[in-house]
Structure 1
Amino acid sequence: MAHAPRRTAGLGRVSGLCLAAAGLVVHLGTATLTLGWTHSVEKTVWEEDWRLTEQGLAIAEARVKGSGAGMDPGPDARLIDGFWRWTPSLPPQDTVVMRRSQAVADWYLCVEGLCRPLERLVPQAADPVTLRACDRP
């Protein structure tokens, strides 16, 4: 996953979070969500909670069910309900870029407790998929 530092301030022109891919823009109708995936080698679940702030997309928490092959929990992680949980020290981002591959399970996205594969929102062939603030119509 790639992150881009936030370069502009103020959310007066945005309205929640959107996914953008292959010329499509999907309005998610929320300012908070969870991104999740399963590591291709370790088969370990990784999740991140993101929220839209005045400064950009801020990561509130990361969770991983295990470690290995680049999946190590943060140094301040605590084991809670089977997940290592911590708050990464990452500045607010303009975008979060998700790459996709037919060789691994697709990303999933959770909004208000409802989780679904990314392919239900954006066709599987669309790569990359970018999470960003939506522009107001």
Structure 2
Amino acid sequence: MSLCILAAGKTVTLAAAAFTLSWTHSVERTRWREDWKVLPAGLQLVEARVKGSGAGMEPPEGSMLRDGWWVYAPRIGSQPRLLLAASGATGEGWTLCTAEGCRELGKAAGETILLEPCDGARQPR
């Protein structure tokens, strides 16, 4: 499987079995990171990390504090796709990293980014 990124009418395909998605919370200015696997059934969230806590961002039960990050394994099923939109309130978008490197997505407010598994031939499932 590959990861397709759809934005501004274009599709980019990344040969990636896993990726990390990170961003800054627009109200609390707290950093978030999530590790995802790309599977035929969808995108599976494996681990999440939050640098601190705040309004509406309390670490869930079972979280462990590691090097200043609350770390936990969310218990949700695979997602067919992720829809991302930047608020514009942080001056940055989302950072998506794979084994090949990192790229910033959706820096401008209102930009919508769609992430979903694809067959590697630039075709979303």
Q: Report deviation, 1:102.
A: 2.4
Correspondence list, 1:1-137, <5 A: 15-104=1-90, 105-112=92-99, 114-118=101-105, 124=108, 127-137=111-121
- CA-to-partner distance for each residue in 1:93-124, whole Å, 9 max, x for gaps? 100111113222211111127333225xxx74
Rounded Cα–Cα distance in structure 2 between residues aligned with 1:126 and 1:24 = 16
Q: Which amino acid is the alignment partner of residue 63 of structure 2?
A: A
Q: Report deviation, 1:135.
A: 3.5
Give the 3-state SS of the residue equivalent to 2:54 in structure 1: coil
Gaps of 5+ in 1: 1-14
Q: Which amino acid is the alignment partner of residue 77 of structure 2?
A: P
Q: How many residues align?
A: 120
Give the 3-state SS of the residue equivalent to 2:27 in structure 1: coil
Q: Report deviation, 1:130.
A: 0.9
Task: Give percent identity, aligned residues only.
Answer: 44
Q: Report deviation, 1:35.
A: 0.5
Gaps of 5+ in 2: none
Rounded Cα–Cα distance in structure 2 between residues aligned with 1:64 and 1:114 = 21
Contact 1:22 1:126 in 2 (8 A): no
TM-aligned CA distance change 1:70 to 1:125, over 3 Å: closer
Which range moves more in the overlay, 109-118 or 35-44?
109-118
Calculate the TM-score normalised by the size of structure 2. 0.85
Rounded Cα–Cα distance in structure 1 between residues aligned with 2:120 and 2:95 = 25
Rounded Cα–Cα distance in structure 2 between residues aligned with 1:115 and 1:136 = 19
